[in-house]
Structure 1
Amino acid sequence: MKINLFPLLFTIALFYSCINNQSNKNDLTPKPYKVSKNFIPINKAPRIEYNTFNNITQNQYSFTNTTSNQEVSILHHLDETGFHFYQGLKFKDNNLGVIVGGTRLRARITLNGGKNWKEVSFSRFANSFQSVDFSGNNIFIVGASNYIYKSEDFGKNWSVFDTKYFFKENQSRYQKFKYYKVRFLTEKIGFIIGEHERHSVILKTIDRGETWKIIKNNNLPKNEKGISDIAIISADELIITTLSGKCYKSIDGGVNWQLLYSGENTTLSSIAFFNSRTGFIGGSNNVLMYTNDSGKTWKKIHMPYGEISDIVIHENNAFITTSFQALDEAKSFIFKIDSKGTNTPLPFLTKKDDSVFFEANSYAIQTLNNHIYILDKNNLYRTIIN
């Protein structure tokens, strides 16, 4: 008997075609996110590529700050940075410190004041970390990622919290997150600020970063761009800057906001306040503004050059770091101004040492006791504040 195989082969082909079509459909259809409200171990988090590199040794070098005649130590150096440079730093003491940046969500940790570093990375892409801070002995890092990264043992082990938990109604697989700062007021109280899908985001913890909640503010404009920096005066009193050039203040923990400043054609990137009345905001186009009446009025401070990228307070002075593309080496990229805002900012770090090159592409500065840490594109410096 002769069997006609054509109907059978056609049925089999149709069956596999349906399977393939269904598979392709499933690939294109976003799957609902089942994100946890808790931190999970790094090896259980999806789409994280975790790598470690131990014992990166740095040759110790120092030179003289000709402004203060104090010794400057170079704690970290990169010969060729490219996109791989660091833009956030935090030292807990003179031994334990972390620098973060990109690419590949990269961080380096030292336990001995910069003599040796351990590197960790969490991505295979060009996204970068932006900020790091400590809550007690816990390290928290954020950046161009939906995750908050935490280590409880100085970088040996890591866990993450997926902030997609706050946006479960959005089923898009490729949501855009960028967190610019993580800052703790006390060991218990901390904030993370940034943007999600080009809208401002504020997260808060009151339990040392174990859990986070999103602050659903009432009156920040819906079209307000990401929040770039935050000054935490108290748990209730917050002052923020935004990428659209505005400064806002809240006295109820971020629920309601009052507009303090609005600049034209300006991106504000940094803020630092001595107290609730007196402080500075800064950003692009050499904008540095000063207030001593809680933002009711502002005075523009003349900056010699540079885009203001970070400001830090130490006693009665503010230290300002800048970023810009100079044709030649910068004479200085760190400036100092007093709390009265009456003087033009003066260079703080200068040198005659030709073997040290000021790249002047700096995004982070920190004071710790009587030391100041400065992160340039190539180098991490530490020196004493007079």
Structure 2
Amino acid sequence: MNNFKIVSLLFCCVCFIKCNSQTHYKPVSDFPEIEIDTNTVNFTDQEHFQNKVTGKTVKVLHSVENTGFHFYNSVSFKNEKTGIIVGGTRLRISSTQDGGQHWKSFSFSGFANAFYCTTIYNNQFFVVGASRFIFRNKNLDKEWEVFDVSSLSKNNYGLRYPKFYKIKFSESGLGFIIGDNSGNPILLKTTNGGKNWQLNPLNGLKKDDNSLSDLFILPDNTILIITFKGNVYQSENGGNNWLLLRSGKQGESLNSIAFKNKKEGYISGLQSLLLKTKDGGKTWHKIDTSVLGPDANISNLEYTKNNQLLLTTAESFQNHKYITFVFSVDQEENISPFLLKKEKTFTGDAYGLFILKNKLFVLDRDKLYKTSL
């Protein structure tokens, strides 16, 4: 009888722990620790100008006046009407369903933390940042849902304050979230399009790597990741093991990675660092970036459908303006401005770049621009 009681008690404890571990998304309102504020802003008279490089019209879909505590880091659009921009402070999301004329803004924190990345998979928005919650939404008229990643840790406080910098999916539904957790690199993995997530081992990483900064998933599900230490790794078994392709040099820090195919790709970072490989990462050569200036932060790399490489630069909290912050790189590796406006300058602090078919959405620190490629 006593043995039966002990077994029953253990069974109940296991069930309690399992039932209290989040394995699916819940409405954001189910979490009282998440503060929710909303407001609206209208841009019915959208500013526009002509891009001197392409001759195409550029529309300003969103702008903010005071960027000290209000800024955006990432953008994604399902179509030309429906999209979101995310950033900070206070975990901020703004959404539009009419091409930027009207926006609804949410903030999900009372602190200075920010969202860093948004992406779309299976017609659903995903958002991550300096938060233990993964946000998702399929219908912007309905409530956002969240997945609490702290439930993935054996230690209740092991994943309380992660910083997730990027989230990306392959067409098959393989997806990863990368960043750092208390000074250690972290990688979350899904095999079902983000319905569930699990902590993924990082076997093969150098001991001094403290954060993952970006990743790229090739069509055959080969995964490439880069770090703030300048290292580049590759996995061909779903992220279970990692092979060092490039060891970073002293003072290097990588921000972005993009590949045209399995052989040819670029990585970029601080101090105008732009490197190219033509053999799948075995060797890299430096690209002349003098047109950007010596201290540019190359914040984004993205290939268009026509295999044109675009890049953006970021100069955070600088007082002076820039004639452009969006550049293109041709097949001969020459860099030239892609976005110019007559007798006008830009803030030049871009962290968001999104391509939808033949449309380009790009975030400066204070404005969201849309133009045709």
TM-score by length of 2: 0.88
Q: Contact 1:215–1:254 (CA<8 Å) still a contact in 2?
A: yes
Partner of 2:169: 184
Secondary structure in 2 matching 1:165: helix
Tell me which moved more, 221-230 or 50-59.
50-59
Mapped partners of 1:275, 1:71: distance in 2:
31
Mapped partners of 2:49, 2:29: distance in 1:
43
CA offset digits 1:310-369 (Å, max 9, x no partner): 11111221100000155532011111013x4x3321110111144xx4000011111111
Residue of structure 1 aligned with 2:237, choices 252, 270, 276: 252
Mapped partners of 1:55, 1:286: distance in 2:
36
Tell me which moved more, 55-64 or 92-101.
55-64
How many Å apart are 1:195 and its aligned residue?
1.2
How many Å apart are 1:293 and its aligned residue?
0.5
Secondary structure in 2 matching 1:328: coil
Q: Contact 1:235–1:253 (CA<8 Å) still a contact in 2?
A: no
The answer to whether residue 36 in structure 2 is matched with residue 50 in structure 1 is yes
Secondary structure in 2 matching 1:60: coil
Mapped partners of 2:22, 2:174: distance in 1:
21
The answer to whether residue 139 in structure 2 is matched with residue 148 in structure 1 is no
Q: List runs of 5+ in structure 2 lacking aligned partners.
A: 1-18
Mapped partners of 1:155, 1:270: distance in 2:
33
Mapped partners of 2:96, 2:237: distance in 1:
38
Tell me which moved more, 48-57 or 58-67.
48-57
> Letter of the aligned partner of 1:192 in structure 2?
I
The answer to whether residue 252 in structure 2 is matched with residue 266 in structure 1 is yes
CA offset digits 1:170-219 (Å, max 9, x no partner): 546x8431000111222733221111111111112222211111211321
Mapped partners of 2:128, 2:89: distance in 1:
13
Identity of matched residues, %: 36
Q: Contact 1:65–1:71 (CA<8 Å) still a contact in 2?
A: yes
Mapped partners of 1:276, 1:321: distance in 2:
23
How many Å apart are 1:137 and its aligned residue?
2.6
How many Å apart are 1:55 and its aligned residue?
5.2
The answer to whether residue 306 in structure 2 is matched with residue 321 in structure 1 is no
CA offset digits 1:52-106 (Å, max 9, x no partner): 2245445301101111111111111112211311011111111111100000000
How many Å apart are 1:235 and its aligned residue?
6.0
Mapped partners of 1:87, 1:226: distance in 2:
18
Residue of structure 1 aligned with 2:299, choices 309, 315, 319: 309
- Moved beyond 6 Å, runs of 4+: none
Q: List runs of 5+ in structure 1 lacking aligned partners.
A: 1-32
> Letter of the aligned partner of 1:276 in structure 2?
K
Residue of structure 1 aligned with 2:366, choices 365, 368, 378: 378
Secondary structure in 1 matching 2:245: strand
Tell me which moved more, 215-224 or 251-260.
215-224
Mapped partners of 1:84, 1:55: distance in 2:
14
> Letter of the aligned partner of 1:279 in structure 2?
G
RMSD over aligned CA atoms reads 1.9
Mapped partners of 2:249, 2:59: distance in 1:
38
> Letter of the aligned partner of 1:320 in structure 2?
L
Residue of structure 1 aligned with 2:356, choices 364, 368, 380: 368
Residue of structure 1 aligned with 2:266, choices 257, 280, 293: 280
> Letter of the aligned partner of 2:334 in structure 1?
T
> Letter of the aligned partner of 1:229 in structure 2?
D
> Letter of the aligned partner of 2:163 in structure 1?
K
